[in-house]
Amino acid sequence: MTYREIYRYRNICHARPCLGKQLPAFVVAQYDKNDFLLYSHGAFDIWCVYHAVSLDNIAAQTILPDDYPLSLQTIEVEKMTGTNTDFIGSFVEYAVVNFEFDAPEDVDYMQEIRDLAVKYGRERVWSSFLDLYEVIPQKRDVEISREMTQKVLQITAEYPGEPRLRYILDCLLCAMIAENNRLCKYGSKFDTKLGKKVKALGIYQAIFEPELGIREVANYSKGQSVEWISNECANRGINTPNM
């Protein structure tokens, strides 16, 4: 399979996760311990980002074939774990182990970016974020590409002492693409006008506005108008056009 599989993924109608449901899984990355980052269906649309962590001790075993990442798989929900987007399940095609599928929160990677800025300097970390930000086109219905995942690896290589950074940047990449793809046809209540800018505003505040708690940063633009958020972005030098 190639990244073109995302077209097939996009054509699968949105379905909320529930017990016994089979959901498409568009795998973005696999990590050393056989945990994965992927898109699947969430409570509201098809662009929910999940971290799939093995519940079995088989770290040396390869679960998916060599054509990952950017491959289309299927997961079966076996147990909901208390929320709309967290569950235990398995890959149908490679049902070797059970996985816990958890949707990372904005506060998680924003806090790690803030910590990274304290350690390496705000301007350096912001510049690294912009390298990733700029590889994503500001348009609706954007596809993830190997150019984007390679950019994550390039940035990660610049911070050799940060083993979690690839995962954090993958989360950010997927979150920004999800913002660009917030469209009615994918289950969203509206068609996005801001796209990835929403995440850029949060990352800027996480880095340069330490007086705000991370939860405040994550919630800063919620419920605000497009015009208000655009002005807040412009005030911080984020001048990406709206859609």
Residue 40, sorted as left (phi over 0), alpha (psi -120 to 50) or beta, turns out to be: beta
57-70 tens-digit pLDDT: 654 455 554 444 57
Last residue in a domain, options 49, 78, 102: 102
Name the packing angle between helices 165-180 and 146-157 (round to 10°): 150
Q: What pLDDT is attached to residue 192? A: 96
When divided into structural domains, the chain yields a total of 2
**Assigned domain for 46 exists:** yes
Last residue in a domain, options 102, 137, 160: 102
Q: Lowest mean pLDDT: which of 49-63, 90-104, 151-165? A: 49-63
- Please tell me whether residues 178 and 158 are part of one structural domain: yes
Q: What pLDDT is attached to residue 57? A: 65
- Please tell me whether residues 33 and 136 are part of one structural domain: no
Last residue in a domain, options 42, 74, 102: 102
105-146 tens-digit pLDDT: 999 999 999 999 999 999 999 999 999 999 999 999 998 888
**Assigned domain for 88 exists:** yes
Say what the alpha-carbon torsion angle 7, 16, 49, 199 is, to the nearest 10 degrees.
100
**Assigned domain for 55 exists:** yes
**Assigned domain for 10 exists:** yes
- Please tell me whether residues 115 and 201 are part of one structural domain: yes
- Please tell me whether residues 179 and 230 are part of one structural domain: yes
Considering only residues 21 and 61, tell me which one the structure prediction assigns the higher pLDDT.
21
Q: Lowest mean pLDDT: which of 23-32, 69-78, 176-185? A: 69-78
**Assigned domain for 168 exists:** yes
- Please tell me whether residues 63 and 115 are part of one structural domain: no
- Please tell me whether residues 90 and 36 are part of one structural domain: yes
Query: 26: helix, coil or strand?
Result: strand
- Please tell me whether residues 97 and 27 are part of one structural domain: yes
143-201 tens-digit pLDDT: 888 889 999 999 999 999 999 999 999 999 999 999 999 999 999 999 999 999 999 99
Q: What pLDDT is attached to residue 97? A: 63
Q: What pLDDT is attached to residue 65? A: 46
- What does pTM read for this prediction? 0.91
- Please tell me whether residues 66 and 125 are part of one structural domain: no
**Assigned domain for 208 exists:** yes
- Please tell me whether residues 110 and 208 are part of one structural domain: yes
- Please tell me whether residues 226 and 112 are part of one structural domain: yes
35-47 tens-digit pLDDT: 889 999 999 999 9
**Assigned domain for 242 exists:** no
- Please tell me whether residues 227 and 157 are part of one structural domain: yes
**Assigned domain for 162 exists:** yes
Considering only residues 204 and 55, tell me which one the structure prediction assigns the higher pLDDT.
204
- Residue 170 backbone dihedrals phi, psi, to 5 degrees: -60, -40
- Please tell me whether residues 58 and 171 are part of one structural domain: no
The domain of 68 spans 5-102
Nearest Cα to Cα of residue 196 among 180, 184, 181? 180
